[in-house]
Amino acid sequence: MENQVLSFEAIKKLFPDEWVLLGNPEYTDTDILSGIVIMHNKDKSHIVSNRPNWWDNFATATTVFTGIFPKKRYLL
């Protein structure tokens, strides 16, 4: 699966309710369509604190959550 472009639907099935760092994401104005999974974790701070060196291999990256946010939850 390494460096394999996956649809966002496939990513949500593989990593439910997780934060996922995607390399070279494809997206519309409002939706993520696909990308290459660089790393994933239930805790967003794990991705932020590890600061992976994605820029050597990818032109762009984004972090997305694959679950549904509970009401009245504050995001970092």
Q: What is the pLDDT of residues 3-61, one digit of tens each?
A: 899 999 999 999 999 999 999 999 999 999 999 999 999 999 999 888 778 888 999 99
CA-to-CA separations, 23 to 2, 27, 62, in angstroms, rounded: 11, 12, 7
Residue 7's pLDDT is 98
Bigger pLDDT: 9 vs 72: 9
Q: Which tokens is 46 given?
A: 């794990």
pTM listed for this prediction: 0.85
Is residue 68 within 8 Å of 74, Cβ to Cβ?
no
